[in-house]
Amino acid sequence: MNKKFSLLFIISFFTAFVSAQDETYTSRRTSFSTDRFDEFSPVYYKDGLVFCTNNNTGQLVDYSSS
């Protein structure tokens, strides 16, 4: 009886571990994107709009968060 519970626990744990893997995402450059920077389209997030880029123009004001 103990072996059955142990086996059931191992199978349940393994199934949860396998199904909890991160999803893989792919992004493609569009015709209006620049060749110099990685840019991602804006999305709604917490009552605001978020746009992602690695463009560092060296301006005095830089808004970013991590």
Reported as a single tens digit per residue, the pLDDT across 11-58 is: 776 666 666 556 777 767 767 666 777 666 678 888 887 777 766 666
Task: Please list, residue by residue across 21-38, b when 16 or more beta carbons sit within 10 angstroms of its beta carbon and e when fewer do.
Answer: eeeeeeeeeeeeeeeeee
Show the beta-strand stretches assigned E in the chain. Answer: 39-44, 49-53
Q: What is the pTM of this model?
A: 0.28
Residue 5: the pLDDT is: 77
Residue 9: the pLDDT is: 75
Residue 46: the pLDDT is: 85
